[in-house]
Amino acid sequence: MKALLLGILLAAGGLGTAMAADAVAPMAPVTYLTEHEGWSFAISPYLWVAGLDGNIAQFGSPVVEVNESFTDILKNFDVGFMSIAEARNGNFSFFNDLQYGKVSSDATTPLGILAGTINAKSTTFAGLLGGGYTIAKSDAGFLDVAIGARLWSVDTELSFYGGLLDGRTVSDGDTWVDGLAGIRGRYDFTPRLYMTGWGLVGAGEADLDWDVAAGLGYRINDRFSSVLGYRALGVDYSNGDGFVFDVIQHGPILGVVARF
């Protein structure tokens, strides 16, 4: 099994943290909510057309540099899901950002002694849960400070067919949690056109975890909005067993926000 295949598959799986076919996020945890008393809610499945760059290592292999476009990743994509949800009441808000992706690929070995074909499956989940408090507000928008935690889970499974390892399956991966803090906000240019975005940075079990995005939204009616923008998310994690996941996912995002 070539180290490059491991890198590409884990990268694409890391896309799970980035992709639902790799998705486009409606200015994720920031959504356009009509002001009124009591609780307001918003939910948004999204598409993030993200590529991936960085360094990855698994199964004791050397660190592999990965530079994959969204098109490259999509070739191996199996299934994915991404969504944002938010609840807001006055100056307080709570939000989450869920990302899941699964990719797989087959590779043949040059001699076929240990195995004729190797199938690699990689799954990645990233879930952010946080809360915010409004520190500045006007008729045109708001600015929140936010804190939260992101759970990462990355797993890759190799199955061997033919050769001495025929029927064997091995897996490698890890799960970790990072704390994040930053700002979220929205500014209305007109009653329909607005700008929204966020910036979060932190660490924990990872050395660094960060997430920034900005986009333009269009309020279709009182219930639905559409958002187009750009997002970049990075994490630098490694453990003492040779697992390395130091990647940046970035690309355009697109989403529809439903409010109720």
Locate the domains of the chain by residue range.
3-259
Rounded CA separation 11/51 (Å): 9
Per-residue pLDDT band for 11 (boundaries 50, 70, 90) equals: very low
Rounded CA separation 68/12 (Å): 8
Q: pLDDT per residue over 187-199, tens digit each?
A: 999 999 999 999 9
Which residue, 215, 211, 224, 213, is CA-closest to 189?
A: 215
Rounded CA separation 9/120 (Å): 7
CB-based contact 52:13 (threshold 8 Å): no
**What's the pLDDT score for residue 173?**
92
User: Locate tokens 């360094």: which residue?
Assistant: 55
For the segment 123-151, the average pLDDT, to the nearest whole number, is 96
Per-residue pLDDT band for 105 (boundaries 50, 70, 90) equals: confident
pTM greater than 0.85 (yes/no): no
- Coil vs helix vs strand at 103: strand
For the segment 157-180, the average pLDDT, to the nearest whole number, is 88
The one-letter amino acid at 19: M
Give the residue with greater pLDDT, 174 vs 80: 174
Identify the CATH class of 3-259. mainly beta
Which helix (H) or strand (E) covers residue 12, if one does? helix 3-14
- Residue 43 is given by DSSP the state E
**What's the pLDDT score for residue 164?**
79
CB-based contact 157:59 (threshold 8 Å): no
**What's the pLDDT score for residue 36?**
56
DSSP per-residue letters across 66-90: EEE-HHHHHTTEEEEEEEEEEEEET
For the segment 110-120, the average pLDDT, to the nearest whole number, is 77
- Residue 15 is given by DSSP the state G
Question: 112-147: buried (b, 16+ CB within 10 Å) or exposed (e) per residue?
Answer: eeebeebbbbbbbbbbbebebebeeeeeebbebebe
Q: pLDDT per residue over 21-80, tens digit each?
A: 233 333 433 443 445 578 999 999 899 988 889 999 988 888 989 888 888 777 888 888
Per-residue pLDDT band for 176 (boundaries 50, 70, 90) equals: very high
Per-residue pLDDT band for 163 (boundaries 50, 70, 90) equals: confident
Rounded CA separation 203/236 (Å): 9
**What's the pLDDT score for residue 5?**
42
